[in-house]
């Protein structure tokens, strides 16, 4: 294998490992649930992207094959990471925050996530009861 390929692959692998470690360290280091959402969904996606590019380069330089599987995995992860982050933020908003405690939206409108949410049949009550308001802060 050529020297430039070895150097590039090693650099990509080290960067990817570092970013994976940083993303998971932020998951246990940050205090708030909403700030914890920030660390892994960005940094770990970058780490996995580095690993996938390194793998693509490795198989191209070693065996001369160009494979599109890595690009598919990268595309899938980049598409799904914002959706997952949105869903988890919404779960946190509905289970732990009250609409009165949040800042008001513009034009004196309601929060769209709370206004559009009509509970389905048999749904659990997501409104915080007055007994456990000490957990809301």
Partner 1 sequence: MITYALIFAFASYGLALLMNLYRVMTGPELSDRILALDTMVINAIALLILYGILRGTAVYFEASMLFAMVGFISTVAYCRYLLRGGIIE
Q: Which residue ranges make up the site for partner 1 (CB under 8 A)?
A: 6-7, 9-11, 13-14, 16-18, 20-21, 23-25, 27-28, 33, 36-37, 40-41, 44-45, 47-48, 51-52, 54-55, 58-59, 62, 65, 67, 69-70, 72-73, 76-77, 80, 83-84, 87-92, 94-96, 117, 119-124, 126
Instruction: Please say which residue, 27 or 111, places its beta carbon nearer to partner 1.
Output: 27
Provide long-range contacts, Cβ within 8 A and 24+ apart, for 107-111. Answer: none
Query: How far is residue 137's CA from residue 108's CA, in Å, rounded to a whole number?
Result: 23
Instruction: Please say which residue, 126 or 133, places its beta carbon nearer to partner 1.
Output: 126
Instruction: Please say which residue, 49 or 107, places its beta carbon nearer to partner 1.
Output: 49
Residue 125 phi/psi, 5-degree rounding, is -80, 120
- Per the CB < 8 A criterion, the answer to whether 59 and 80 are in contact is no
Instruction: Please say which residue, 108 or 125, places its beta carbon nearer to partner 1.
Output: 125
Shortest distance in whole angstroms from residue 107 CB to partner 1: 26
Token pair, residue 118, equals: 């009509």
- Per the CB < 8 A criterion, the answer to whether 67 and 56 are in contact is yes
């Amino acid at each position: 294998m050529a020297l430039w390929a070895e150097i590039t692959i090693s650099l990509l692998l080290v960067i990817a490992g570092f970013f994976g470690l940083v993303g998971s360290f932020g998951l246990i280091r940050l205090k708030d649930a909403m700030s914890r959402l920030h660390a892994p969904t960005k940094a770990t996606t970058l780490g996995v992207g580095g690993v996938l590019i390194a793998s693509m380069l490795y198989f191209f330089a070693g065996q001369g094959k160009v494979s599109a599987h890595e690009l598919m995995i990268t595309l899938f992860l980049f598409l799904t990471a914002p959706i997952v982050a949105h869903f988890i933020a919404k779960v946190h908003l509905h289970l732990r925050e009250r609409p009165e405690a949040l800042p008001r939206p513009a034009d004196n409108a309601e929060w769209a996530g709370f206004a559009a949410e009509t509970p389905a049949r048999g749904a659990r009550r997501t409104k915080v009861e007055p007994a456990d308001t000490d957990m809301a802060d």
